[in-house]
């Protein structure tokens, strides 16, 4: 199976501006690096207490400090951007994810590509088939997280419903379980969780970020919610062999 661990660099004359919301997290930092490698001008949004995590990018990106649901911060950060990449996390129990999504939808440029991240538990059309293990993790783990006021999965569901109904040029990238490690290239994807190609349920975090950045230029993913898995995972390889035989 061919691996793709880079994105073609754009020429200076075609340079686009990309805003990464949640830039200081692990996924966010990978997206910043991929976007820079691609030749984009990068703007990042990060909480003040996490800004030091972006020290390696000093002088190469513009940073706006604040919570990702701070509407004024988002308004400034997305102004003039051709694309907005958003790490959509449901921290706390006060609608953090919903507030983040709504701010992006309200203030991003009219024709901007909007790419959001979530887990497999989000469903666009209700046709996903979930394992008992995943259902248990979401239902029990989600309830405990909300009880402890740590996170609210329902908030992320509400946020993605806003995205689905927005009429914007959006893509929701639904990630499998993640691990660190060397890039395997652009992940493979399917429309529905439960499809055989996704059975391995494992993707390198660096490649999740790669897919997010690649989606900027892939209009076939507009108004889609691809569920991804590592392209060198056992299930992806088995699917490739089965299709080729």
φ, ψ for residue 119, nearest 5 deg: -95, 180
Q: Please, which pLDDT band fits residue 13 given cuts at 50, 70 and 90? A: very low
The pLDDT value recorded for residue 4 is: 35
pLDDT at 173 over 90: yes
pLDDT reading at 36 higher than 50: yes
> Which pLDDT tens digit goes with each residue over 39-51?
999 999 999 999 9
Confidence of residue 153 (pLDDT cuts 50, 70, 90): confident
What confidence category does residue 5 fall into, taking pLDDT thresholds of 50, 70 and 90? very low
pLDDT tens digits, residue range 64-85?
Answer: 999 999 999 999 999 999 999 9
pTM, rounded to two decimals: 0.89
According to the model, what pLDDT value does residue 118 have? 93
Given pLDDT bands bounded at 50, 70 and 90, which one contains residue 197? Answer: very high
Give the pLDDT band (50/70/90) at residue 95: confident
What are the structural domains of the chain? 12-244 (3.40.50.720)
């Amino acid at each position: 199976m061919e691996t793709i661990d880079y994105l073609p660099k754009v020429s200076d004359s075609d340079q686009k501006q990309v805003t990464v919301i949640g830039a200081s997290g692990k996924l966010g930092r990978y997206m910043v690096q991929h976007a820079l490698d691609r030749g984009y001008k990068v703007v990042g949004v990060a909480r003040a207490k996490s800004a030091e995590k972006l020290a390696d990018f000093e002088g190469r990106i513009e940073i706006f400090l604040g919570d990702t649901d701070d509407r004024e911060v988002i308004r400034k950060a997305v102004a003039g951007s051709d694309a907005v990449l958003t790490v959509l996390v449901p921290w706390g129990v006060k609608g953090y994810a919903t507030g983040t999504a709504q701010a992006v939808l309200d203030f991003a440029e009219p024709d901007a590509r909007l790419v959001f991240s979530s887990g497999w538990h989000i469903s666009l059309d209700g046709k996903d088939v979930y394992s008992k293990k995943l259902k248990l993790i979401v239902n029990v783990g989600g309830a405990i997280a909300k009880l402890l006021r740590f996170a609210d999965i329902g908030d992320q569901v509400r946020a993605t419903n806003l995205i689905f109904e927005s009429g914007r040029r959006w893509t929701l990238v639904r990630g499998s379980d993640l691990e660190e490690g060397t890039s395997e290239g652009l992940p493979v994807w399917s429309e529905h969780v439960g499809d055989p190609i996704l059975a391995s349920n494992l993707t390198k975090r660096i490649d999740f970020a790669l897919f997010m950045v690649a989606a900027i230029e892939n209009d076939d993913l507009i108004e889609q919610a691809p569920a991804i898995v590592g392209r060198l995972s056992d299930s992806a390889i088995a699917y490739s062999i089965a299709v080729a035989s």
